[in-house]
Structure 1
């Protein structure tokens, strides 16, 4: 059975659920879809398909990339704010999942709790795509891997350092890098390191793939000899009240020229955006020659189109 047939109808909840071969297939397809798009070729394998897009957390990139992506593939995207759904008025997730399964061909959801996405997937008879939760952001990492491969020509054997809050990005990058044969390191203040349970699960994976995972409070140790440097905002959506406290705690974790002197000379700088210049990264770095943040953001479109083609096409 080929990879496409194997993945058709699957959910995309975390990268733990996908094999290295499946992720490689998705990245290859994303490359082909991007080439078609750049050449102006029409490619519409999802004619007549409808993707429901549930947003409890608002977003620029997730909304526009999924909506534009499904249209370009010949389908239709329906933006569903939780303010407009009975879900927002207390309807059980299981009921919403069963009802929407009768109307749609797939659901993308961007919300807070990972357990809500898992419950939705459990009760839906159509594919559910995790557009972001507090624990994971797998769609972003597909685009990140596509970008690294475009620029570096490979993934296996590279070192990716994630500096900053041990959030959904830290978790998904750790899993994605490990699956693709990359070493991964991360640094944050002690109370802001990635969740132990996720680190342990990823460490077991690293033993299988022959890669290393380093979790430390020392940003210099984490960034040493890294090929790819990644960061995110210090206070994510819903954590605005912690902004001032986090700014003090994370001051020594800022991505700036001084810290980057410990990375490889030809490092790539990445950020899932939106970015706060002067906080987690200096303007000269994010706007400098090593930064691939615009290319990375664009690849959300192509990587997610590949995902939708594989999960939703006949």
Structure 2
């Protein structure tokens, strides 16, 4: 079965977790675990020797850029940083032309940008695998690392409850999909005007009926966190929303993850955050820096999960 999944993933795009089966995600998580073990043991493993990954950034980044550049290097390949300020793409060249040109030079493309439609257009016109490093709608690479981290800490995925408190943003969307695919119950609490789109919720609930997970959407953070094994939050104003900062601080004030709220989670809850974090806003310092927090283990796993993704999509 692993061999058949390995063949399925060769040159496959990674745009959202909607496009990946439970078996394919399970394969990637096991591969990430194996690659992490190799790296920790100091073993050299170069399945991507001679391969080049292009890294297109329209949004700034710490974890995505460093983990992809480090990962492709550790796998024997080369990462090529491509700022949209330096590409003709930033001067109006069509995405379709850029995709076709870069396909002649590279073995894979990662893009971190604003519009999901741009990632889809790039993938449609490229003959090499395209990886979504983040858009305003989805952040699937982060969720691979999150699932890896939850499994490391809890020893399982299926049957757990994952609660997300805050903005129904790209992280909320991708976590909801990942949870449904892997059999976790998922509860989300956001202010009414910031809930995920009805279309994404409906599509995810359809997946959940097949895997046995339960998806709950509410405006009550206490209800969402009740009995949760894992509690997750993100910044209230993401990149590109800085002008909404003051408004969002007011509207999300009741959605802070703090000790009072977490009294309603399971006693052995795990706290997660994709980072960067604003201590004192979406989460208190005592929680993110406390014993239940695994945010830096989670951040490190970006390296291992993305290495698995690159091996699966780009190796011969």
TM-score higher than 0.5 here? yes
Match of 1:211 in 2: 213
Verify: 1:199 aligned to 2:201, yes or no: yes
Match of 1:122 in 2: 124
The separation in 1 between residues aligned to 2:97 and 2:242, in whole angstroms, is 32
The separation in 2 between residues aligned to 1:276 and 1:294, in whole angstroms, is 15
Q: CA deviation at 1:104?
A: 0.2
> SS in structure 2 opposite 1:103?
coil
The separation in 2 between residues aligned to 1:82 and 1:69, in whole angstroms, is 22
Match of 2:244 in 1: 242
263, 286, 310: which one aligns with 1:308: 310
Which structure 2 residues correspond to residues 35-54 of structure 1 after superposition, within 5 A? Answer: 35-54=37-56
Verify: 1:280 aligned to 2:289, yes or no: no
Match of 1:137 in 2: 139
Match of 1:187 in 2: 189
Q: CA deviation at 1:195?
A: 1.0
Q: Note the residue ranges of structure 1 that are not aligned, 5 or more in a row.
A: none
167, 172, 175: which one aligns with 1:173: 175
Match of 2:267 in 1: 265
What TM-score do the two structures reach when normalised by structure 1?
Answer: 1.00
Runs of 4+ in 1 over 2 A off after TM superposition: none
Q: CA deviation at 1:90?
A: 0.4
The separation in 2 between residues aligned to 1:4 and 1:295, in whole angstroms, is 27
The separation in 1 between residues aligned to 2:104 and 2:27, in whole angstroms, is 29
Compute the RMSD of aligned alpha carbons: 0.5
The separation in 2 between residues aligned to 1:47 and 1:6, in whole angstroms, is 21
The separation in 1 between residues aligned to 2:282 and 2:250, in whole angstroms, is 11
Count of aligned residue pairs for this structure pair: 314
Q: CA deviation at 1:210?
A: 1.2
The separation in 2 between residues aligned to 1:232 and 1:167, in whole angstroms, is 9
Match of 2:13 in 1: 11
Q: Note the residue ranges of structure 2 that are not aligned, 5 or more in a row.
A: none
